[in-house]
Chain A
């Protein structure tokens, strides 16, 4: 986001790594791919993904995108399944505070870059923010068509009948569209895009979002993007319209009834509770005085 420093004097103690781990030529190459991706919303741009010091599937694509756009003045938030406290989130946050020396935060509004796996924060994002997704399978048509040459041709000619075949199968076998995550969307009426394994609950948030959304798939070597204020429509049928998940319970800690809830098993006799998956959202609600049946002051 901020312009890159000419010298890393502010980070003179960082002698082992280049700023944000990747070398400048690699970042340049990734930034080019990002620019192209922003220019063609939803189009998957191939890039020369690098080996990262963690395994594929742990967010190597997202990390490379973040490393290429982050500057010393940025403030980074990393979430995994909505939570700031899970292993993947903690490791990636530590990775960047070590290799880039940037400030990190848990608070959604305070972050200039948010790297995420699975969730979009409940707090609406603003124009000065960038949301970076870690993507395992960028190709929405892959499930039906294994050939890359063929899927590219299908995108080129907008042959997207296959996506509805998937939804048709859902209804035929389950009576409703059972796809609950990685729910296919059409971006600005042109490219069909896989929104990474985010729950479909978050799909409406992608539509017309103020923040820039970048998607990085490290193993599959693809980057794609949704620029701010872009139309993102979830695919559906006229007689089976798109709908998001709902819960009968509310958050056990903050009683939120409008956020995405995770089910937590609490014992081996069937005890369970639902809590907000967005830990920052839940924390702030509790701070503001909201309580739930499992809050500590209630017990």
Chain B
């Protein structure tokens, strides 16, 4: 047990992770290390096991085999699924963040934008309305949402704004690790570009470690330091993003890269 964060150990270790749904395979023998401040992209076609992997990593789906080790702030490296449910849930709403593809899955649609951002703070024991509101304003500003919208319902926001609100709601507890599932899915390209810019800036400013699942190679190219290519539940190629995209080795990656439409 280490008392402090060690710079020489990875933040997250995924060790031979396998998840099967009965005879159906979700993902097989996936292994990687994620270091603090690093952005890992996972690409692959639909049904390749990306989302299954992300759910296992994020603590919402127990893997069939394999371990996930996380370097906690104060208690050293812990096996995620050996933790009690209470500790795991606490970790998930403090140190971690999960950004869903559909903002409706990640937001509370029945309460205002400010309350959405403040919820994590209140869950952690913040009991001063003024402070909570101040924090909410700060984070709305960070994700470029007009302060005048703080009391409006997410329902009245555009798709891009909802996605930015979801990101603000997740970052308010100052997480160290963020999981994103197709963060730009369903948005039009100009909104995508702005969102990607914003995510890139936030990730750099806050030194976040990130796991981004996407089927969009452009998103991967812009955000990810390293890239993992998945097919049929297995990792077929793994390397620095530029290397993988510029010089794909595996036939499937070559197909994927050549399938991108050129304008």
Contact = CB atoms under 8 A, between A and B. Distances in A.
A39 to B, nearest CB: 22
B144 interface: no
Interface in A210-251: 236-240
Interface stretch (A13-21, A164-172, A188-196, A279-287): A164-172
Given A144-B110, A168-B118, A237 B129 contact: yes
B119 A162 contact: yes
Contacts of B114: 168, 172
A165 B128 contact: no
A165 B119 contact: yes
Interface string B124-153: 100111101100000000000000001100
Contact of A169 (B85, B112, B120, B128): B112
A164 B127 contact: yes
Given A144-B108, A144-B110, A157-B85, A168 B132 contact: yes
A46 B115 CA distance: 31
A165 B127 CA distance: 11
Given A157-B86, A157-B89, A168 B115 contact: yes
A143 B109 CA distance: 12
Contacts of A165: 108, 111, 115, 118-119, 122
Nearest to A143: B110
A172 B89 contact: no
A144 B110 CA distance: 8
A172 to B, nearest CB: 5
B127 A238 contact: yes
Q: Which of A159, A161, A169, A236 has the most CB of B within 10 A?
A: A161
A156 B201 CA distance: 38
Interface string A163-186: 011001101110000000000000
Interface string A140-166: 000110000000010011011110110
Nearest to B124: A161
Contacts of A236: 127
Contact of B112 (A144, A156, A172, A240): A172
Interface residues of A, number: 21
Given A165-B122, A169-B115, A239 B89 contact: no
B123 interface: yes
Q: Which of B86, B112, B127 has the most CB of A within 10 A?
A: B127
Contacts of A169: 111-112, 115
B89 A168 contact: no
Nearest to A171: B129
A55 to B, nearest CB: 29
B151 A237 contact: no
Interface of A: 143-144, 153, 156-157, 159-162, 164-165, 168-169, 171-173, 236-240
Given A153-B85, A238-B127, 20 more contacts: A153-B89, A156-B86, A157-B85, A157-B86, A157-B90, A160-B123, A161-B120, A161-B121, A165-B122, A168-B129, A168-B132, A169-B111, A171-B129, A172-B112, A172-B115, A236-B127, A237-B127, A237-B129, A239-B129, A239-B130
Closest 6 CB pairs of A and B: A161-B123, A164-B122, A161-B122, A237-B129, A238-B128, A157-B86
10 contacts: A156-B86, A157-B89, A157-B90, A165-B122, A172-B112, A172-B114, A172-B115, A172-B133, A238-B129, A239-B130
